[in-house]
Amino acid sequence: MLKLIRELKRKDHPRILGGLEILKYIGPGLLVTVGFIDPGNWASNFAAGSEFGYALLWVVTFSTIMLIVLQHNVAHLGIVTGLCLSEAATKYTPKWVHRPILATAVFASISTSLAEILGSAIALQMLFGLPIVWGSILSTAFVLIMLFTNSYKRIERAIIGFVSVIGLSFIYELFLVHIDWPMATHGWVVPSVTQGSLLIVMSIMGAVVMPHNLFLHSEIVQSREINKGDDVSIRKVLKYELFDTLFSMIIGWAINSAMILLAATTFHRAGQSVDELQQAQAMLQPLLGNNAATIFAVALLLAGISSTVTSGMAAGSIFAGIFGESYSVKDTHSVVGIVLSLGIALLSICFISNPFKGLLISQMALSIQLPFTVFLQVWLTSSHKVMGCYANNKYYAVLLYALAAIVTVLNLWLLIDTI
């Protein structure tokens, strides 16, 4: 009898979801989030805070809003079609369109992997005095073991743990400094591009809205096995995907903001600029004590390792999608994509003389590639042939195209300013 009552309750209240059921949908967004609290972000944020104080906090706010819109949109593509962005581009666009864009996306993933591996190596140098090259080799080997021996779920749980530790580390360090909150609030909401700041603006934007994350999110959102094909299931998952995206991106916004706040308070106020992450640790030691410096290095290592895992997954997804296949470590094309991204990035590190500058430039490169990926994504998600009744309405499509146009204009501005 009790069993029958329970069954009737379930039939009468099919839309009531408990907290634990909501938690089933948390995960893909956090995997994406770790990509924009990577070592490249650290370099961009510490450069921004140390050189310009609170003035560039607005870039984190704007980039995060842009990120929420774009990631939510690309997750719709994965949920509705069962295809990642790379697969959908291969299936629905001609070769002359998708091949160059996907090729540049692969190079963007290499640029991302370079920053992640380099950040891990810098952290190992801070903690144990290892040379950058050896630290890079060890970090890459560890990531490859994680990718090729662990199941997706184990990697997801590990990365969520990494994100938690990184977030707590920066929250801890914020309690050790005095923040001018009125000035910080002004910096968050009032845009300004002071002379000499455009490169850092673009680096922050490229570090937050990363092309490889758009490909990755459309792939991993399918891990929940939610592409059932029926309208009720799809709409349910779309709703909870938005919660996952908002929750995860706000965490990323808070951590990135904390980095700039910390740099502005400790470095800019003292009239010192940060031009290498090792210097940041050394400067934090007398200002904040030995514990803060150690926490800084450990958090950087966790950020580097976890974001290298996600950049490798993204590269595998992009490369496999070129051949119309989904990501799997058992698939040859996915493995080739992972090895290409991490291998070329590792080789490139051997020729980098200034690691900090390399981090900044790698993030700027992502910003340059971003408009191509966004225009492709918006075209696909606005197509009724691809998305059916879930295609973007005209107002949403205009918003998405406007975001892509803004990034394009900023890139052209940077090019003109550089020349």
- Most confident of the ranges 149-158, 219-228, 330-339: 330-339
- Quote the pLDDT of residue 138: 96
Residue 27 DSSP one-character state: S
For 26-68, the pLDDT digits (tens) are: 556 566 666 667 777 788 888 899 999 999 999 999 989 988 8
- Quote the pLDDT of residue 40: 75
The mean per-residue pLDDT over the stretch 100-104 comes to 93
- At residue 84, φ and ψ (nearest 5 deg) are -80, 170
Token pair belonging to 285: 């030691």
Give the C-alpha separation, 41 to 280, whole Å. Answer: 14
Residue 302: closest CA among 203, 205, 167: 167
- Quote the pLDDT of residue 288: 63
How would residue 161 be classed by pLDDT, with cut points 50, 70 and 90?
confident
Give the C-alpha separation, 111 to 107, whole Å. Answer: 6
- On the question of pLDDT at 402 being above 80, the answer is yes
Query: Using N-to-C axis directions, what is the helix angle for 39-52 and 231-263, rounded to 10°?
Result: 40
- Quote the pLDDT of residue 13: 39
Token pair belonging to 57: 């906090």
How would residue 18 be classed by pLDDT, with cut points 50, 70 and 90?
very low
Residue 113: closest CA among 363, 356, 333, 291: 363
Give the C-alpha separation, 6 to 10, whole Å. Answer: 6
For 342-353, the pLDDT digits (tens) are: 999 999 988 887
Give the C-alpha separation, 399 to 130, whole Å. Answer: 47
How would residue 155 be classed by pLDDT, with cut points 50, 70 and 90?
low
Residue 266: closest CA among 56, 53, 57: 53
Mean pLDDT (the chain) is: 81
- Quote the pLDDT of residue 92: 96
Domain layout of the chain by residue ranges: 24-418
The mean per-residue pLDDT over the stretch 314-339 comes to 92
Token pair belonging to 24: 């089933």
The pTM (predicted TM-score) of the whole model is 0.82
Please spell the DSSP secondary structure of 274-343, one letter per residue.
Answer: --SHHHHHHHHHHHH-HHHHHHHHHHHHHHHHHHHHHHHHHHHHHHHHHTT----TTSHHHHHHHHHHHH
- Quote the pLDDT of residue 149: 81
Token pair belonging to 409: 């204009």
Flag the least confident range among 136-140, 158-162, 219-223, 263-267. 158-162
Which residues make Cβ contacts (< 8 Å) with residue 271, sequence separation at least 6?
none
The mean per-residue pLDDT over the stretch 377-384 comes to 95
Give yes or no for a contact between 293 and 284, defined as CB atoms under 8 angstroms apart: yes
Place of tokens 């909501």: 22
- At residue 125, φ and ψ (nearest 5 deg) are -65, -40
The mean per-residue pLDDT over the stretch 110-124 comes to 89
| CATH for the 24-418 domain, from 3.60.21.10, 1.20.1740.10, 3.40.50.10490, 1.20.210.10 | 1.20.1740.10
Token pair belonging to 322: 């070129």
